[in-house]
Chain A
């Protein structure tokens, strides 16, 4: 892959732009994946608590 990148002038010339794009993409994907888990975490926590009570009994 490194050779592919190095042999491609377009990639080398746009390295700074790629860095900026990578920053935006990674931050967006992290934020939305946290939101996705946030959406179901209440349900998971309730399930865990119920299981905890079952074990206590």
Chain B
């Protein structure tokens, strides 16, 4: 999936660089909006289809929702600090951090604001997913089981869930990971437009 998205973006860059008529660039925003609505519709459908989530939250305890809350807070604070070091405005760095690894949504949403910010959000969130895949086993072993969910961000419910599950021999961690991914996926479409507009 990651490779097909990377190929699609690379093909788009090539097409935009050499073939796309520059005067038609205005109609791209409308197409992006339609694409985002379709994407969010299917993500919502996926979450709604899983009826077991809420009873499971009740079983583990609402305290486990602290994990996605702290991941969201840490990601945004971290990207603001990194952005200050790089001289990136706070609204841009915080919005990029609020992508939580969901590069297909955050990058497209931020490309409406600026093509450079969209490209930066895309590369940052792809990097986050790659670093998550590489670091989760080490974090699970040397730092802690709940901490190993942190690098995954919104991907904790799908792409990186098998890695988290394998790295921690504890069924509860996989469940907390899934709930974390769902919660962060709900927060991304709210936080990214909100933070960039500040």
Residues of A near any B CB (own CB < 8 A):
1-8, 10-12, 14-15, 18-19, 21-41, 43-45, 47-48, 51
Contacts and interface: CB of A to CB of B under 8 A. Distances in A.
Contacts of A23: 127
Interface stretch (B50-58, B79-87, B190-198): B79-87
B131 A6 contact: no
30 contacts: A2-B10, A2-B13, A3-B20, A4-B16, A5-B118, A6-B14, A6-B18, A18-B120, A22-B120, A22-B123, A25-B120, A26-B128, A28-B81, A28-B82, A29-B75, A29-B79, A30-B78, A32-B74, A33-B153, A34-B139, A34-B147, A37-B67, A37-B71, A37-B150, A38-B144, A40-B70, A40-B146, A43-B66, A44-B67, A47-B63
Interface residues of B, number: 68
Contacts of B76: 29
Contacts of A14: 116
A5 B125 CA distance: 16
Question: Could you tell me the dominant secondary structure of chain A's interface residues?
Answer: helix
8 residue pairs, one from A and one from B, having the closest CB atoms: A2-B12, A6-B16, A32-B78, A36-B74, A28-B82, A36-B70, A33-B74, A3-B16
Given A33-B78, A37-B71, A25 B150 contact: no
Contact of A8 (B115, B144, B147): B115
Contact of B116 (A8, A31, A34, A41): A8
B17 interface: yes
A31 B78 contact: yes
A35 B70 CA distance: 9
Contact of B150 (A21, A33, A43): A33
A7 B120 contact: no
A39 B144 CA distance: 11
A45 B82 CA distance: 30
B86 A1 contact: no
B138 to A, nearest CB: 11
B74 A35 contact: yes
Interface string B124-144: 111110011001000100011
A26 to B, nearest CB: 4
B9 interface: yes
